[in-house]
Structure 1
């Protein structure tokens, strides 16, 4: 019903307007009339209610909107009632709407396996024309054509095709040959390979990479001095320079200041190996004469300063992990690097079976860090990867969800940042820049700020290749 515009702000889409009650618990949405599905059927409140019910269904693998009541007022009006005020609620209403007449007889648990996915019916500016597969049945290209009855007007481009490649190098080669006019994403190391006559869109997305410490799995990491030393020995600028060719911004807190302009963190994160060594020396982590590792007596037992670092098998993160390993080894910390596939790492994350984890988290344009840092989210499906628990932080997280005043919310975000930076449950590294190359012939693109890469298409109905003079 809503979408993010080119500036990353919530704007009307299927919903023409909405109203909010004074207590911020009731929202009335008014749908545009005359909106059509690609098969010619009318899009009404029944489709919205049906979609919300599917999203709330626990059999659906991404169940959400729990505790939200959706009520049909008439064919084009829906009322949402919340149990408690929730300031990021509008961000939760940017989901796509499903046509009830197509999906109502398909169980939610079977959605991903339904043949209807091969002939999707939507309401957007382009509709499916053809799916091309290779001899083994792998999709190679999806072709779309304009939907003339699109509610924002007929789109300008005569066709849109998505081609799929097994790797980035294949996509780059096709782009260089003129076979495609844009690439969904390229890594910073491949920027020099982009041909001339290309517009390079660079956007800092609200996401970051960090090392999350699981102190329950490693006694050494439970010592804050060890974590402080690891912070001082982490050369963030070197990591950014060598892994993403400088295409990132260093961060020091769970809500990066480029999102909300938070105050500077209490603990500075300057790279200083001598300081890191000094922290370990002064806190009792001395070099063992027998093992040559740093050791400390904890609970009457000798504990070696040895840490396992887990990350996903993606070259940028593997390179970053190796740089961290090199720096930490130089101050006397033994690091065992463990690289896993995405599927393997997801299972380990669910079970919280890691000592330290180099991984990423995606925030919203209106960030709600509750799922990432509240103590109630320490177990799956929560995303509190550091198993972090702080009563003051929990209180702020709960208050932030109910606060609608931007100035007060900004203050609470700043307070929350300070608490987390002081406790140091994670080592925050950088926010990467999203790089989207597109041929200069494509006009009408005005991307300034987006939340997810897919949102670069939010204004695709305005894209065009050439213009004609029209006498008025």
Structure 2
């Protein structure tokens, strides 16, 4: 009997030891196509910055959820004055930055005043333009007074560019980001990976993962081998052209969702001959969206005729305004005095939608007499030459910021577009909180941009995600620039 009990006890111990081997793993390697130029969401336009850090390392007063909804974040609640101008935010208490500094209303004031200052380097400074003043009431209460009511204010405060930073670490966030989020920064191996680890002192619900590595994989051809080998377990933004190789493999989950990425052929509106409406309209007629979508997004993109996502409730379908018409394009070029065509440059950043789409578009424009020199550039070069210095003729990029039609009203924006009528519509929109009126104004704004052919509107970038079938909690859609890992876990 004693021998039998000894054998049984040993079996129980062996079973217990074996069971632990099947516990859900707590590490994750995510593949991303572009390396961020730095790691401060409040000081750069590159989507890659927010895709690593938003909701993971940095948090805002509010946050945008997976369906585009506004949720509380560092502000647990808020009230709005009857005139719509004063927002009183009640903050969570006991919150600390990753370096141990306490988070309080003083940090809210610092962050918002810094973002809207004259010398601000925030890429979305317009988000804060409506703020008149920020007052600290007590450590857990802050008043934000607006110059005028703004229906989108709470949404704006959920952008990655509006996250809270500490005066003690703000100056060094580009290399060593310090936030209040559930993950803290561990390491950045330049050109290779960025590693985050679970914060041991997070104020909110603890995350499931202990460690996350964002692996930089610029070559789309490497995506499938990385997945098959298990070296990388998730690509939230997968190469559509490689989808056929994994879509029927039960080891992986394939999720096709929507983004806020208006993919456009950007035009320098003040550079001759693009300063002529007929030339820009000729380009729009020369574009065959279907061929571009088939060739650059495996047929998964949704065509657009202005700067708004088809998933948006206020979207207006203007794709019929410029049907593909080579003869009409040539006729407009003749009206512009360019019946023999002209030469221009097309600067293409690294994403495959740009490089593949650029070849197709160059061929289509060649058919109407516009001969393009294709100039591939790295992402840092694109940000410097195109976005900052406006040194370009044409380029292709997906604008993945949410609800960002107002960028065309910015006088220093790289489109170099200037239309007082459009500016007035956007100004009225910023003063309006009534949903019916906002819908009307957004419709007007879309129509003006289409009529002016400010850029060549191509398609809405699809979100093609591929990841291990045992992973749960990754976002299906991309309503904001983010890879939010707060709910991600492995099934056992």
When normalised by structure 2's length, the TM-score is: 0.76
Q: How does 1:27-38 map to 2 (within 5 A)?
A: 27-38=87-98
In the alignment, what sits opposite 1:306?
342
1:86 aligns with 2:86: no
Displacement of 1:73: 0.7
In the alignment, what sits opposite 2:135?
71
Q: Which range moved further: 7-16 or 341-350?
A: 341-350
Q: Deviations over 1:13-54 (max 9, x none)?
A: 111111112222211100123334446664322332233344
Q: Deviations over 1:377-420 (max 9, x none)?
A: 33xxx2250x3232321210110111111221011111122222
Structure 2: runs of 5+ lacking an equivalent = 1-60
1:112 aligns with 2:148: no
Displacement of 1:332: 3.2
Preserved contact between residue 311 and residue 359 of structure 1 (Cα < 8 Å):
no
In the alignment, what sits opposite 1:342?
379
Aligned length: 421
In the alignment, what sits opposite 1:145?
198
1:324 aligns with 2:361: yes
Preserved contact between residue 307 and residue 356 of structure 1 (Cα < 8 Å):
no
CA distance in 2, matches of 1:462, 1:343: 32
CA distance in 1, matches of 2:205, 2:105: 21
In the alignment, what sits opposite 1:421?
450
- Secondary structure of residue in 2 paired with 1:91: helix
Preserved contact between residue 302 and residue 460 of structure 2 (Cα < 8 Å):
yes
- Secondary structure of residue in 2 paired with 1:6: coil
In the alignment, what sits opposite 2:397?
359
CA distance in 1, matches of 2:321, 2:261: 21
CA distance in 1, matches of 2:139, 2:62: 18
In angstroms, what is the RMSD of aligned CA positions? Answer: 3.1
Label 1:340 to 1:442 Cα distance change in 2 as closer, same or farther (>3 A): closer
CA distance in 2, matches of 1:214, 1:155: 45
Label 1:230 to 1:27 Cα distance change in 2 as closer, same or farther (>3 A): same
CA distance in 1, matches of 2:478, 2:267: 31
Q: How does 1:26-425 map to 2 (within 5 A)?
A: 26-38=86-98, 42-62=102-122, 64=125, 65-66=128-129, 67-94=131-158, 95-100=162-167, 102-103=168-169, 108=171, 111-112=173-174, 117=176, 121-128=178-185, 130-131=186-187, 140=193, 142-145=195-198, 147=200, 149-165=201-217, 167-170=219-222, 172-194=224-246, 196-219=250-273, 221-265=274-318, 268-277=321-330, 279=332, 283=335, 295=339, 304-314=340-350, 315-345=352-382, 346-364=384-402, 367-370=403-406, 372-374=407-409, 377-378=410-411, 382-383=412-413, 385=415, 387-425=416-454
Displacement of 1:189: 1.6
Preserved contact between residue 45 and residue 78 of structure 1 (Cα < 8 Å):
yes
CA distance in 2, matches of 1:206, 1:405: 23
Label 1:39 to 1:238 Cα distance change in 2 as closer, same or farther (>3 A): same
Q: Which range moved further: 172-181 or 339-348?
A: 339-348
Label 1:165 to 1:340 Cα distance change in 2 as closer, same or farther (>3 A): closer
CA distance in 2, matches of 1:205, 1:25: 31
Label 1:121 to 1:398 Cα distance change in 2 as closer, same or farther (>3 A): closer
Q: Deviations over 1:334-358 (max 9, x none)?
A: 4344443434443244343433343
CA distance in 1, matches of 2:157, 2:348: 31
Structure 1: runs of 5+ lacking an equivalent = 286-293, 296-303, 468-472
- Secondary structure of residue in 1 paired with 2:187: strand
CA distance in 2, matches of 1:391, 1:432: 29
CA distance in 2, matches of 1:317, 1:402: 36
Q: Deviations over 1:222-255 (max 9, x none)?
A: 4434433332221111011012211211110123
In the alignment, what sits opposite 2:75?
15
Q: Deviations over 1:269-309 (max 9, x none)?
A: 2223344345556x486xxxxxxxx63xxxxxxxx520413
Label 1:60 to 1:266 Cα distance change in 2 as closer, same or farther (>3 A): closer
Label 1:232 to 1:198 Cα distance change in 2 as closer, same or farther (>3 A): same
